[in-house]
Amino acid sequence: MKSSNIPVPRFLTVPEVGIICGVSRNTVYNWVKKGVLDAYQTPGRTNLIRPGDLLLFMQKNGMFVPNQLIEIANEDSKNVGFIPKSELRGGDKLPVVLCMDDDPKERSVCERALKNKAEVITASTGFEGLHLLTVRDDIEIVLIDMEMPGMSGEQTFIQAKGLRPAVKLIALNRTPPQFTDAVHVNGFIKKPLKLKTVFEGLTPFLNL
C-alpha cells in the first residue's frame, strides 16, 4: 500500500505546554476550557495544541517565549502550513458570549441554550470575567449575575463597560435591577435561568 503524502502536523500536549509556560497542567486546561488558548481535541477528548497557536497566545499575553518554541512553530509551519485556529473559523466564526455567574447550574444553562448558536465562555466571579474581557477581544455580549460574591453587579457593569465600551451588557437577576445613571444595561434576563428565556433574551443581539 502506498504511504500517505499528507504531512503530519506537530502537536504539543497539555503537560508540555505547562512546562513551556511555567504553569500547572490545570492552568492550561482552564485556558483551553475558557477559549483563551486554542486547542484541538482527539476523539478521546485529549487536548492538543499546535506550536503556532501557543506562540501567538504567549506573545499576545506578554509571556516569555523560548527560542525552541519559535523554532518548532516555524518548522511545523514550513512542513505542514499553519493557520491560527481562530482564522480557520473564518466567516463561520460564532459570536462570543461571556456568562459571569457563580452558580455552575446557571452557567450550564447559558451554554446549553446557545449551543451551536454562539461560543459561550464562563466566569464564576466578576474578577475572572473582567480578566477574560482583557484577553478576549472577540467577546460581543456579557451576561452578568447581579449577586456574585466579591464585587457588586453594578461595579462589574461599570468596569466591563470601561474595558470594552462596545460590548452588550445583559443583567441576570430575579427582578429588573435598579442602577444609577452611570450604568447602561442593554437587556435583562430573569433568574433562575431557563433555556427558552436565555435564548429569547439574546436573540436580538445575536441576530438568531
Domains and CATH numbers, the chain: 12-87 (1.10.10), 94-206 (3.40.50.2300)
The number of beta carbons lying within 10 Å of the beta carbon of residue 195 is 13
pTM to 2 decimal places: 0.58
Contact (CB, 8 A) for 157 and 183: yes
pLDDT tens across 140-162, in order?
A: 999 999 988 888 788 898 899 88
What is the C-alpha to C-alpha distance for residues 92 and 72, in angstroms, rounded to an integer? 29
Q: Give percent of the chain above pLDDT 90.
A: 42
Q: What is the per-residue pLDDT for 105?
A: 95
Q: Which long-range contacts (CB under 8 A, 24 or more apart) does 60-64 make?
A: 60/135, 61/135, 63/21
Q: What is the mean pLDDT of the chain?
A: 86
